């Protein structure tokens, strides 16, 4: 399949490479030349713009930072919409506001182009090994046409509803992840202050009801004091802002999300925004005057 791929950041680059490994023909574009060069070296063709990357493609994928970037890349000058032909499928795998997905889909539909919103969860490690969880919104018939392609980048791809449902599901995912990390942080700081080794606490609880994928992924990072980003705090702020905006629009109270958002904002003010979201624990460590990490 001929695929145009726009957005070659921490997530997009390994996703694009997995499509190349699967034998698809790729035309790639990013505003960072080095990122494009890396994917071209893996076998892709270089696109000079989103329009060129989309031209002649059967499927166009975007993986961009936020709503404004998607609107600009798709609807702006030399955007994807200028290169699409009737019958092409567009899949936005960025994490953006559901309302923006619906807005973009409506404009593409006027051009005879079907769209899916398909954000992902799993961070850089799962993007690299092709085991992302993919949450999809759109028509079932369109989803079925590209599901096999999506499964070259993820281990699961689930249709959650109409356009925007993928991003609503991603927002729900991000709420659960953030609150899990915060709960882990509170628990480990409590253990440390009470004189109990948090590593032992982790070993004791990970097999019980408190165990989770989040705990298993983030506890080792916290215990090592390693906040190298797999998913940056600034990106989680983006997602929770979209969650809050969407919740306010539909009338769904999410008070715990508001609290973890303020914790993330405090960490951003202190310069931690480029760190992994496991660094949430640093907020609790500062308040408690302790360090959880192993000596």
Output the CA angle 251-257-259, nearest 5 degrees: 120
User: 277: Cβ–Cβ under 8 A, 6 or more apart, which residues?
Assistant: 177, 178, 181, 218, 231, 232, 233, 236, 264
**Under 8 Å between Cβ of 188 and 198:** yes
Rounded distance between C-alpha atoms, residue 74 and residue 172, angstroms: 25
Tokens of 228: 């190298």
**Under 8 Å between Cβ of 243 and 259:** no
Query: Catalytic residue among 170, 206, 286, 294, which?
Result: 170
Rounded distance between C-alpha atoms, residue 180 and residue 236, angstroms: 13
The 8 Å CB, 24+ separation contacts for 208-215 are 212/180, 214/176, 214/177, 214/180, 214/181, 214/184, 215/180, 215/184
170 is catalytic: yes
Q: Which residues are catalytic?
A: 170
């Amino acid at each position: 399949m001929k695929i145009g791929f726009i957005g070659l950041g921490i997530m997009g680059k390994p996703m694009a490479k997995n499509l190349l490994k699967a034998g698809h023909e790729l035309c790639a574009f990013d505003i960072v030349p080095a990122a494009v060069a890396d994917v071209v070296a893996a076998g892709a063709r270089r696109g000079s713009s989103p329009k060129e990357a989309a031209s002649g493609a059967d499927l166009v994928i975007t993986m961009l930072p936020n709503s404004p970037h998607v609107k600009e890349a798709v609807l702006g000058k030399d955007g994807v919409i200028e290169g699409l032909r009737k019958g092409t499928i567009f899949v936005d795998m960025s994490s953006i506001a559901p309302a923006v997905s619906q807005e973009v889909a409506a404009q593409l539909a006027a051009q005879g182009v079907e769209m899916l919103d398909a954000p992902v969860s799993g961070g850089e490690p799962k993007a690299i090994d092709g085991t992302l969880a993919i949450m999809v919104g759109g028509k079932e018939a369109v989803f079925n046409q590209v599901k096999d392609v999506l499964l070259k980048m993820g281990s699961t791809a689930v249709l959650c509803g109409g356009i925007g449902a993928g991003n609503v599901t991603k927002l729900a995912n991000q709420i659960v992840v953030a609150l899990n990390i915060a709960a882990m942080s509170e628990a480990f700081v409590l253990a440390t202050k009470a004189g109990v080794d948090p590593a032992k606490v982790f070993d004791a609880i990970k097999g019980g009801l408190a165990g989770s994928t989040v705990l298993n992924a983030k506890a080792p990072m916290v215990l090592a004091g390693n906040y190298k980003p797999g998913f940056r705090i600034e990106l989680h702020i983006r997602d929770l802002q979209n969650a809050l905006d969407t919740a306010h629009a539909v009338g769904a109270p999410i008070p715990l999300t508001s609290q973890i958002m303020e914790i993330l904002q405090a960490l951003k003010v202190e310069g931690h925004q480029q760190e992994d979201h496991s660094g949430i624990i640093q907020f609790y460590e500062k308040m408690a005057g302790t360090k959880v990490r192993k000596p």
